[in-house]
Amino acid sequence: MAGDCIFCKIAAGDIPGDIIFEDELAVAFRDINPQAPTHVLVIPRAHVGNASTLTEADDALIAHLMRIAGQIARDEGIEGSGYRIVLNVGSHGGESVPHLHIHILGGRQLSWPPG
Ligand code: AMP
């Protein structure tokens, strides 16, 4: 647990989250401020910063998180229509929670380029 990291607290069960999947390495829960009909966050259970702070030691973890993201998209019924996986990094990227999280967004037509 990193300090008062809100995602560490959700993973630990210290604050509530709408958790839809968890295993020993990862937790997935619905975004509290959804930007699409399906908006799920997949996080590592252990505190990891953002995509810029990853090291070789995180390779297997990231592969695991990505596989779970695909599984959740299937389970949520958005695989056929398509969806977007997003990692926001830093200020210009729009990152607001400094604990690695994969956004899964789907259930509507998403535009490109992003705002
Ligand atoms: P980002 O802006 O990429 O760092 O994404 C952080 C996301 O976390 C935002 O989409 C927030 O709506 C979401 N969020 C913040 N607090 C919570 C919470 N307690 N439960 C669920 N989602 C949250």
- Average pLDDT on 79-102 reads 98
Q: What is the mean pLDDT of residues 62-83?
A: 98
Does ligand 1 come within 6 angstroms of the Cβ of 95?
yes
Confidence check: pLDDT of 32 > 80: yes
How high is the pLDDT of residue 1? 67
Can you identify the CATH homologous superfamily of domain 2-97? HIT-like (3.30.428.10)
58 versus 2: which is more confidently predicted?
58
Site to probe by mutation for ligand 1, drawn from 7, 32, 86 as the one with most ligand atoms within 8 Å of Cβ, is 32
pTM score, two decimals? 0.97
pLDDT at 102: 98
Contacts of 100 (CB under 8 A, 6+ apart): 43, 44, 48, 49, 50, 51, 54, 65, 87
Distance, in Å, from the CA atom of 10 to the CA atom of 42, rounded to the nearest integer, reads 12
